[in-house]
Amino acid sequence: MECAYNVGTMAEVLGTFEQAVLLEVLRLRDEAYGRAILKAVQERLERELAAGAVHATLERLEGKGLLSSRLGPGTDIRAGRARRFYRLQPAGVRALNDARRTFNNIWRGVKCPVTALL
Partner 1 sequence: MNTPHSDARPPRWAEAILRVLLKPHDRETVSGDLLEEYRDTIVPARGRAADLWYIRQVAWYLLRASWMWGTLMGAALVFRYLLDTLVPTADYRMRASVLSWTILCVCMLAGFVTAWRTRSMRAGVLASTTSATIAAILSIVGAATMLAMWHDPATLEEWRRSGGLDETFIDVPLQLIALGLMMGIPGAALGKGLTSRVTLSG
Least separation, in Å, of the C-beta of 95 and partner 1?
A: 23
- Closer of 73 and 109 to partner 1 (Cβ): 73
Least distance from C-beta 107 to partner 1, angstroms? 33
Give the single-character DSSP code of 88.
Answer: E
Distance from chain centroid for Cα 10: 14
Question: Which residues here bind partner 1, judged by CB under 8 A?
Answer: 33-35, 38-39, 50-53, 55-56, 59, 71, 74-79, 81-84
End-to-end CA distance of the chain: 31
All residues at 6 or more sequence positions from 43 whose CB lies less than 8 Å from its CB, including other chains: none
Name the minimum Å distance from CB 58 to partner 1.
Answer: 10
Minimum separation from the CB atom of position 57 to partner 1 (A): 12
> What is the DSSP secondary structure assignment for residue 70, as one 8-state letter?
E
Task: From residue 84, give the alpha-carbon distance in Å to each of 19, 71, 100.
Answer: 19, 5, 27
Considering the complex, state which of residue 84 and residue 87 has its C-beta at the smaller distance from partner 1: 84
Q: Which is nearer to partner 1, 2 or 76 (CB)?
A: 76
